[in-house]
Amino acid sequence: MQTTVFDQQLPLAIGCDHAGFQYKTRIIEILKDAGWQVEDKGTYDEESTDYPDYAHPVASMVEEGKAAVGILICGSGNGVCMSANKHQGIRAALCWNEELSSLARLHNNANVLCIPARFIELATAEQMVDVFLSTAFEGGRHERRVDKISC
């Protein structure tokens, strides 16, 4: 894993529904190996469950400054992304490759990465996490646009 641009003094918040459980388990291992303190907001098995129950706690931690960044995983990525983006301080990005993961950080200053577990390989998800955590916000002309996102 590359060097992160996020403050590792704070934990990384992660959550998923049943469809993302296997990916979340592996990503947590990688994050801990890279020195992250990980706050796992669930789910903790593959029993069918509701994605907002995990997306909201992750988004709240990031929004309140209790986590440096968040990662959410569900089948399509859409449910967790929509739920997280209901929070004012959240810029959750649904990504399915490294380039989108990079652009979410570079141009949108995304603070939550949303992963569609049923549509990408685990290796791709791992690479996306690495890119997301190691890419800094470009600022400049993008700053003005990002400032207009919140209602």
Q: Is 151 a catalytic residue?
A: no
Beta strands in 1-151 (DSSP E): 12-16, 38-40, 69-74, 92-94, 112-116
Q: Look at residues 77, 148, 80, 60 and name the one whose alpha carbon lies nearest to residue 109.
A: 148
How many whole angstroms separate alpha carbon 123 and alpha carbon 120? 8
Catalytic pick among 74, 81, 95, 114: 74
- Phi, psi at 19, each rounded to 5°: -70, -25
CA atoms within 13 A on the CB side of 135: 25
How many whole angstroms separate alpha carbon 18 and alpha carbon 8? 27
Give the contacts of 98 (CB within 8 A, at least 6 positions apart): 124, 127, 128, 131
Q: Is 114 a catalytic residue?
A: no
Which sequence positions are flagged as catalytic?
74, 107
